[in-house]
Amino acid sequence: MSETDSPPDDAQDALGRLYDDPEARIASLQNDRPSDQDVAGQAAIFKALGNDDRLRVLEALRDSECCGCELQVVLDAPQSTVSTHLRKLKEAGLVKSRKKGKWSYYRIADTAVFGLLDLAHAVQDDA
């Protein structure tokens, strides 16, 4: 039975050579770690935002709600593709929808997403 050394073991060795009191540093690094839930929640939002088409949808919704067929025009993509993107945005809690007759209208769920879009744009410019 070959025993693969547990991933961070060599790293802990390295820290031992880098600091006088590696234990304290390690403890500090491990304590400030956010919860799995928090991180997963944030990641889910960023994943939903990490797609050109979905960003275009949100941008279109900045001014007003849109029905599905309007967003098809915005994306210039097949209906099923657009619908799938909209579902992902809904699942991520970024948009809401209402039905009116055979039309579905989509709108931004939380205007804070505009903050995310604008900040990402700013970060991009700085780089």
Partner DNA sequence: AAGACGAATCGAGAATATACAATATGATGA
Partner DNA sequence: TCATCATATTGTATATTCTCGATTCGTCTT
Positions in the binding site for DNA (CB under 7 A): 4, 10-11, 13-14, 17-18, 47, 50-51, 53, 67-69, 72, 77-81, 83-88, 97, 99, 101-104
Residue 39's binding partner out of a second copy, DNA, none, with CB under 5 to 8 Å set by partner kind: a second copy
User: How far is Cα 111 from Cα 21, in angstroms, rounded to an integer?
Assistant: 46
CB of residue 81 to DNA, shortest distance in Å: 4
Token pair in block for residue 59: 């941008």
User: How far is Cα 82 from Cα 78, in angstroms, rounded to an integer?
Assistant: 6
Q: Which residues bind a second copy (CB under 8 A)?
A: 7-8, 10-12, 14-15, 18, 25-26, 29-30, 32-34, 36, 38-47, 49-52, 55-56, 59-60, 63, 66-70, 72-74, 76-79, 93-94, 103, 109-110, 112-113, 115-117, 119-124, 126-127
Residue 88's binding partner out of a second copy, DNA, none, with CB under 5 to 8 Å set by partner kind: DNA
Identify the bridge partners of residue 98 per DSSP, sorted by sequence position: 105
CB of residue 51 to DNA, shortest distance in Å: 4
